[in-house]
Amino acid sequence: MSDSVAEQLARIEMSVARLPEGLRAHIERSRVVGGELAAIFGVDPERVDLALAGHDLYRAASDEELLELATRRGIVPDGFESEQPLLLHGMLAAAWMADEGGVTDPEVLAAAHHHTTFAPGLGPLEAAVFLADKIDPDKVRRRPWLSTVEESARRGDWKPAIRAYIEAITAEMERHGVTPHPRAREALRALGG
Ligand SMILES: [Fe+2]
Ligand SMILES: [Fe+2]
């Protein structure tokens, strides 16, 4: 399927319209921040926006639905994803965007896929998407430590910003007895952390 980004975005927005109001509001806020970070990081705002529009299409799905959707797409969850099916929501969103949304841009798809843990080998476009999701102003209000991440991001220092986020979220998860997905640690190492 080859059509314009506007058509791809319109299809995604039709699906987003069916999501719960709070989630739609988060997606809207992250798209605003994404536009700001795209300008700072020197990446195409339209591509960042497309990824952010679709990144949480499955954020409101139940664990059972996520596992069922993965099975239907031929995705075999790893041990972490079986234990914490929410880890699948980015991958499933990227699969929807490619198959139903007509999105072909590999970086846009990678950005949606990896927006929970980040991953080695990603660049500033995926970073803008990852960080815009994390520094949604509502999230910063709820987790004041995110303001450090936001300051680095707004200076254009996307690698330190992502490192700071992964280090802090890893510590927070471990305090709650949750084991972070190893991809986050791999991403941290790839970013020099
Ligand atoms: Fe998400
Ligand atoms: Fe999100």
Q: What confidence score (pLDDT) does residue 76 get?
A: 95
Q: In angstroms, what is the C-alpha Rg of the chain?
A: 16
Q: What confidence score (pLDDT) does residue 2 get?
A: 64
Per-domain residue ranges of the chain: 5-136
Domain spanning 5-136, CATH architecture: Orthogonal Bundle (1.10)
Separation of CA 71 and ligand 1 centre (Å): 20
- Closest of 157, 147, 168, 106 to residue 127, by C-alpha: 157
Separation of CA 4 and ligand 1 centre (Å): 25
- For residues 127 and 14, what is the distance between their CA atoms, to the nearest angstrom? 25
140 C-beta neighbours (distance < 10 Å), count? 16
Q: What confidence score (pLDDT) does residue 91 get?
A: 98
Q: Which residues line ion ligand 1, judged by CB < 5 Å?
A: 56, 59
Ligand with minimal distance to 132 CA: 2
* Angle, vertex CA 118, rays to CA 144 and CA 159, nearest 5: 70
Q: What confidence score (pLDDT) does residue 89 get?
A: 98
All residue ranges of the chain with pLDDT < 50 are: 1
Separation of CA 55 and ligand 1 centre (Å): 6
Q: What confidence score (pLDDT) does residue 53 get?
A: 98
Q: What confidence score (pLDDT) does residue 3 get?
A: 85
Residue 93 CB contacts under 8 Å (≥ 6 apart), including other chains: 54, 55, 56, 57, 58, 112, 113
Are the C-beta atoms of residues 54 and 103 closer than 8 Å to each other? Answer: yes
Separation of CA 189 and ligand 1 centre (Å): 22
Separation of CA 27 and ligand 2 centre (Å): 6
- Token pair of 49, please? 């926006």
Q: What confidence score (pLDDT) does residue 193 get?
A: 79
Condensed to tens digits (0 to 9), the pLDDT of residues 78-110 reads 999 999 999 999 999 999 999 999 999 999 999
- Token pair of 119, please? 């991953």
